[in-house]
Amino acid sequence: MSRQMTGAKMVVQALKDQGVEVVFGYPGGAVLPIYDELFQQNDIRHILVRHEQGAVHMAEGYARSTGKPGVVLVTSGPGATNAVTGLTDALMDSIPIVVLSGQVPTFMIGTDGFQEADTVGITRPCTKHNWLVKDTDRLAETIHQAFHVATKGRPGPVLIDIPKDVQFASGTYVPPKAARTDHYQPRVKGDIEAITRLVELMETAERPIFYTGGGVINSGPAASQLLRELVDATGFPITSTLMGLGAYPASGKHWLGMLGMHGLYEANMAMHDCDLMINLGARFDDRITGRIADFSPHSKKAHVDIDPSSINKVIHVDIPIVGDVGHVIEDILKVWKARGRKVNHEGLARWWAQIEEWKKVNCLSYKPSDKIIKPQYALQRLEALTKDRDRYITTEVGQHQMWAAQFLGFEAPNRWMTSGGLGTMGYGLPASIGVQIAHPEALVINVAGEASWLMNMQEMGTAVQFRAPVKQFILNNERLGMVRQWQQLLHGERYSQSWSEALPDFVKLAEAFGCGGAKVDNPADLDDAIRMMIDYDGPFILDVLVEKHENCFPMIPSGKPHNEMLLGDASTEGAIQAGGAVLV
Amino acid sequence: MSALKIKRGASSHSAYDLRDPHAELNETHTLAVLVDNEAGVLARVIGLFSGRGYNIESLTVAEVDHQGHRSRITIVTRGTPSVIEQIKAQLGRLVPVHDVHDLTVEGPAVERELALFKVVGTGEKRIEALRLAEIFRANVVDSTLQSFVFEITGTPDKIDAFADLMRPLGLTDVARTGVAALSRGA
Ligand SMILES: Cc1cc2nc3c(=O)[nH]c(=O)nc-3n(C[C@H](O)[C@H](O)[C@H](O)COP(=O)(O)OP(=O)(O)OC[C@H]3O[C@@H](n4cnc5c(N)ncnc54)[C@H](O)[C@@H]3O)c2cc1C
Ligand SMILES: Cc1ncc(C[n+]2csc(CCOP(=O)(O)OP(=O)(O)O)c2C)c(N)n1
């Protein structure tokens, strides 16, 4: 069934037919016809942001916490360019986002018209795909294709640029089913021969490890379920990247914790010493591999990834398997069961004994204090007081993000939203709003550093306006902590521009925004402050004054192998000297 | 990088591993990429190469199926075997790309390039240019009393060789199309 309607109406109709319930956006001249249509309907809710970057991060939070694509509407020129950071963030972290941008009318394109920008040109490298629609008859189909591309295969952000005359003109609407999507059908089933070879290795491996990543979250809750079955049935240890936390429960028996630059000692040591590494939906990021030449030198490596370009990009693997990780795990289980559920029991027992030794290092230990709030302690208390709730966590970027990953436990997928690949300060606050919009009843907490938080703090207005009771848990060290740490360890303690000077009074700021706020600086008051934040009926800013010079450990200095990890301040001496040499 | 005096290969002060992980030898490959002929598709392919630091030695593109709006892009690129594999995988994941063929590894292929050479001169040099053109089976497509324009088709090597010969004989301008290539046989 096709119908005649204006392009603007088509946009709204197509979004409805795609099941879209929320759009995050900001109006302007080039999208007024679409805003006019939004005004005249009640099915799609519009969240008015304060800055278009915030809109994209909200859509990311929405998408990551629901598994559905996030939708953004921005105007031409500055509206579109403000979305670029968010698009790049979503591309790096494989988050499905559909951005609709207005454009000057087709007959003005190329004339440097008012608020004209080459949006498809600017966003080409930071989207999975983008389109400029010049003909209203093509608009509906393009939107449907955009949703298809954003969500299929390796998810990612897409953008549709819609000139204003295309919005005004009439054309034929086509429903989703009639849209051609056959040319983009990434393969989901893995090669069964390769899977069988992997199972053979699993049967004999003495020191196997699962190294899982964001791909398991991307694949959907079924993949996490299958992963749990696979891990628990084989008894192999499992570690995950920052992006994959929650796919296997933190309370699970075989969980080693996060790996990588700030990952746990036992996880990194196990990666280094394993004889079989099974990468499920992770991409051998440089925060994981450290020095490539020394990365897990004695292991056979299998890599399951839906994106062929991820395989052999960084690390050469022995068993590449292109496919959806959920489908592949299902097949691994089938083959492994059919062949008699074999594992190398003696080998595994020795392996676990070794892992237990590594665990005794107690790599997350820190010097407690009863005078000053240690950031790690703040997170331990947050964990203790919130873990039994229906809880979602977002973060900003920096030390606090790493401590959150180390000290909070995630029992389910889609509950941990963080900017991993791009490391975008300013992600967490808007992302928390996006999560809260999707889960109005849940407890949504943004674990923030004060510097990151200031980058998109204007979105507090959005939270207040739309009654999104997001909790802003700011670990305030009055420093750009992660930068300060690197300067201490690698640049001879020359703290160039890593202070947070002239900070606002966060409690007054909360008052100014019309939300709750409190400050806490005594460890003895921390629990009450956290409870106050949780119980407050509305958005809340908790300014937690923490130790200013705490470093985040463990740390693998860049370019070092996994077994050369720094475990605490005492172990940093050499690194400090080496760092000093850089500038001399 | 150089300002910090970090040697290539040293990586302990960097967020990235500056070591060259692939100390492999470079190879030249000819890729045939079949794409939907939609707006911006060439920019997408070229942006991929520049954005990821891959080389393009030559690139040709034209619509080859007007009904299906398909274009064929022929790219000659250089890189280590693992980089070439990455290039193919990266091309393959672009949404409008249908197929990527590595003609260098998929069996024998024919490669041809067309070039136009303007050679200006009189007397002996002019006669010599014409004689060499005949040997190379180049056609004269324009002539004045002082100049010729030769048209030559062949492998890039042959065209290079012809250019080398024409240079001392008054070569002033060259236009080359870049390589078009097809696999041999059925
Ligand atoms: C300050 C800072 C410090 C950091 N330190 C660490 C650290 O210590 N440890 C750490 O782990 N990270 C760290 N990170 C994050 C790091 O930069 C990367 O973002 C992260 O490691 C990448 O995670 P991933 O490998 O799971 O890949 P993702 O970016 O999540 O990519 C997912 C992979 O899965 C594939 N995929 C997608 N869908 C599917 C599917 N359905 N089936 C199969 N495959 C699929 C994709 O193609 C891709 O290859 C840090 C980030 C910051 C900002
Ligand atoms: C937009 C952006 N600019 C700069 C950086 C580099 N950077 C990474 S962490 C960091 C400091 C973050 O400070 P804060 O938010 O206070 O967190 P802390 O590390 O103190 O916990 C900076 C500047 C970045 N990641 N993102």
For residue B42, give the CATH number of its domain: 3.30.70.260
Note whether B39 and B95 are same-domain residues. Answer: yes
Q: What crossing angle do the helices spanning A325-338 and A221-234 adopt, rounded to 10°?
A: 30
Which of A158, A312, A558 is most worth mutating to test chain B (most B CB atoms within 10 A of its CB)?
A558
Considering only CB atoms, which residues of chain B are within 8 Å of chain A? 4-6, 11-19, 21, 36, 39-40, 43-44, 47, 51, 82, 85-86, 89-90, 92-96, 98
Interatomic CA distance for residues A196 and A334, integer angstroms: 10
By the 10 Å C-beta count (0-12 exposed, 13-18 middle, 19+ buried), A559 is classed as: buried
Q: What is the pLDDT of residues A552-577, one digit of tens each?
A: 999 998 778 887 889 987 666 555 44
**CATH fourth-level superfamily of A192-359:** TPP-binding domain (3.40.50.1220)
Instruction: Look up the pTM and report it.
Output: 0.94
Gap between the Cα atoms of A447 and A432, Å rounded: 10
> Measured between alpha carbons, how far is residue A416 from residues A319, A370, A377, A541 in Å?
30, 30, 20, 19
- Interface predicted TM-score (ipTM) of this complex, two decimals: 0.90
Q: Are A79 and A116 in contact (CB under 8 A)?
A: no
CB A244 within 8 A of CB A212: yes
Q: What are phi and psi of B110, to 5 degrees?
A: -100, 135
Backbone angles phi and psi of A294, in degrees to 5: -105, 10
Q: Do A429 and A58 meet the contact criterion of CB atoms below 8 Å apart?
A: no
Residues of chain A predicted below pLDDT 70? 1-2, 570-584
Q: From CA A267, how far away is CA A119, in angstroms rounded? A: 43
Tell me the nearest-neighbour CA distance from B31 into chain A, angstroms: 16
Q: What is the pLDDT of residue A561?
A: 82
Element (H, E) at A455: helix A450-455
Architecture of the domain made up of A375-545:
3-Layer(aba) Sandwich (3.40)
Regarding whether B115 and B81 lie in a shared domain, the answer is: no
B124-182, pLDDT tens digit by residue? Answer: 999 999 999 999 999 999 999 999 999 999 999 999 999 999 999 999 999 999 999 99
CA distance A527 to chain B (A): 37
DSSP state of A112: T
Beta strand A416-417 with A540-545 is unpaired
Residues in A touching B4 (Cβ below 8 Å): 582-583
CA-based nearest distance A557→chain B, Å? 7
Q: Whose CA is nearest to atom 45 of ligand 1?
A: A215
Q: Is the CB of A423 under 6 A from ligand 2?
A: yes
Residue B85 is assigned to a structural domain of this protein: yes
Instruction: Name the residue among A33, A102, A71 with its Cα closest to residue A438.
Output: A71
Do residue A183 and residue B36 have CB atoms under 8 angstroms apart? Answer: yes
Task: Residue A320: list chain B partners with CB under 8 A.
Answer: none
Task: Give the fold, CATH level 3, of A3-178.
Answer: Rossmann fold (3.40.50)
Q: Please write the tens of the pLDDT for every residue from A480-519.
A: 999 999 999 989 999 999 999 899 999 999 999 999 999 9
Same domain, B125 and B84: no
Of the candidates B102, B137, B167, which is a domain's last residue? B102
Q: Domain of residue B48: give its range.
A: 24-102
**The two three-digit tokens of residue A261, written as one number:** 């630059």
- 3-state SS class at A59: helix
**Fold match between A3-178 and A192-359?**
yes
Q: Whose CA is nearest to atom 2 of ligand 2?
A: A425
CB < 8 Å to B21, chain A: 292-293, 314
Do residues B90 and B131 both lie within one domain?
A: no
Encoded tokens for A227: 């992963």
For residue A2, what pLDDT is reported?
A: 64
Judge contact between A185 and B92, C-beta under 8 A: no
Q: Mark whether B91 and B124 lie in a shared domain.
A: no
Contact of A423 with A398, CB cutoff 8 Å: no
Q: How many residues belong to chain A?
A: 584
The answer to whether A462 touches A513, Cβ cutoff 8 Å, is no
B107 contact partners, CB below 8 Å, separation of at least 6: B183, B184, B185
B151 and B85 in one domain?
no
User: What would the two tokens of residue A448 be?
Assistant: 């923030």
Give CA separation, B178 vs B32, B34, B56, B100, in Å. 13, 17, 11, 18
Of A120, A153, A314, Cβ closest to residue B40: A120
Q: What are the chain B neighbours of A286 within 8 Å (beta carbons)?
A: 15-17
Overall domain count for chain B: 2
Domain end (from B35, B70, B102): B102
Q: Ligand nearest A497 Cα, by number? A: 2
Cα(A519)–Cα(A497) distance, integer angstroms:
25
